[in-house]
A and B are shown apart, each in its own frame.
Chain A
Amino acid sequence: ETGVTQTPRHLVMGMTNKKSLKCEQHLGHNAMYWYKQSAKKPLELMFVYSLEERVENNSVPSRFSPECPNSSHLFLHLHTLQPEDSALYLCASSQVSPGTGVGYTFGSGTRLTVV
Chain B
Amino acid sequence: GENVEQHPSTLSVQEGDSAVIKCTYSDSASNYFPWYKQELGKRPQLIIDIRSNVGEKKDQRIAVTLNKTAKHFSLHITETQPEDSAVYFCAAAGANNLFFGTGTRLTVIP
- CB pair A56–B96 under 8 Å, yes or no, is yes
- CB pair A43–B100 under 8 Å, yes or no, is yes
- CB pair A42–B103 under 8 Å, yes or no, is yes
Contact of A50 among B30, B46, B49, B96 (CB under 8 A): B96
Kindly state whether residue A21 has any CB partner on chain B within 8 Å.
no
Query: Is the interface on chain B under 10, 10 to 19, 20 to 34, or 35 or more residues?
Result: 20 to 34
- Of the listed stretches A11-19, A60-68, A74-82, A104-112, chain B binds A104-112
A interface: dominant SS: loop
Question: Complex Cα distance A106/B38, Å?
Answer: 11
Give residues 33-65 of B contacting A (CB, 8 Å).
Answer: 34, 36, 42-46, 49, 51
How many residues on A have C-beta within 8 angstroms of the other chain's C-beta atoms?
24
Given contacts A42-B102, A90-B44, contact A102 B89 (CB under 8 A): no
Contact of A56 among B45, B87, B97 (CB under 8 A): B97
Residues of B contacting A42 with CB < 8 Å? 87, 89, 100, 102-103
11 contacts between A and B (CB under 8 A): A41-B102, A42-B103, A43-B100, A43-B103, A50-B96, A100-B93, A101-B34, A101-B93, A103-B98, A104-B46, A106-B44
